């Protein structure tokens, strides 16, 4: 729903006494809370998933692609490709490449500092090297 629709619904429900207005609360606050409540109910209704009726099956288009288990060969090849790309960007700077990979995996700076026993200054220096090497690599392409 659009904000204007939510506001209109909140005003209508207040006027119909579906939403009681506590006089100790400003009208703006009351309408704001009513809009939040209405929108949460709309979202809850939209997220309900209806199953297929008994005996019916989804079509091939509705099912989507069949998941394929990746074999050990594909995993090894992908890992080698990633390592080659990291080598291409970072060269012999394995520390920067490893920290970059950990950041991509979602590790936070504090976690990486603890793992590598780096001070804030040392970590900042590595981060600067990472940015510089990536910028240099992108400028070469």
Residue 31 lies in a domain: yes
Q: Say if pTM beats, i.e. exceeds, 0.85.
A: no
Give domain status of residue 11, yes or no. Answer: yes
Which pLDDT does position 54 carry in this prediction? 66
Give yes or no: residues 92 and 131 share one domain: yes
Range of the domain at 9: 3-46
**65: in domain:** no
**Residue 134: inside a domain:** yes
Cα 34–chain centre separation: 29
Domain shared by 39 and 79, yes or no: no
CA 80 to chain centre: 27
Identify whether 58 is part of a domain. no
> Does residue 60 fall inside a structural domain?
no
Given this model, what pLDDT does residue 57 score? Answer: 73
Domain tally, the chain: 2
Q: What is the pLDDT of residue 19?
A: 78
Indicate the burial class of 100 (C-beta count within 10 angstroms; 0-12, 13-18, 19 or more): buried
Residue 96 burial (10 A CB sphere; 0-12, 13-18, 19+): buried
DSSP symbols for 94-133: HHHHHHHHHHHTT--HHHHHHHHT--HHHHHHHHHHHHHH
Query: Which residues, 6+ apart, have CB-to-CB distance to 11 below 8 Å?
Result: 31
Query: What per-residue confidence (pLDDT) applies to 64?
Result: 74
- 32 in the same domain as 80: no
Are 94 and 40 in a shared domain? no
Which stretches of the chain drop beneath a pLDDT of 50? none
* 55 part of a folded domain: no
State whether 78 and 135 are in the same domain: yes
- Do 84 and 136 lie in a common domain? yes
Q: Is residue 116 part of a domain?
A: yes
Residues 80 and 123 in one domain: yes
- Residues 83, 130 share a domain: yes
Question: Within this chain, do residues 42 and 96 fall inside the same structural domain, yes or no?
Answer: no
């Amino acid at each position: 729903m659009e904000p204007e629709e939510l506001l209109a619904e909140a005003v209508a429900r207040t006027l119909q006494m579906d939403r009681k207005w506590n006089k100790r609360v400003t009208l703006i606050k009351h309408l704001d809370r009513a809009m939040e409540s209405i929108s949460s109910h709309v979202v809850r209704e939209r997220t309900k998933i209806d199953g297929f009726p008994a005996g019916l099956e989804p079509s091939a288009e509705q099912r989507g692609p069949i998941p394929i288990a990746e074999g050990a060969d594909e995993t090894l090849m992908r890992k080698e490709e990633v390592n080659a790309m990291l080598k291409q960007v970072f060269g012999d700077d394995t520390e920067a490449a490893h920290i970059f990979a950990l950041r991509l995996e979602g590790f936070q700076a504090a976690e990486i500092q603890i793992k590598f026993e780096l001070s804030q200054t040392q970590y900042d220096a590595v981060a600067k090297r990472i940015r510089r090497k990536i910028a240099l690599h992108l400028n070469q392409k």
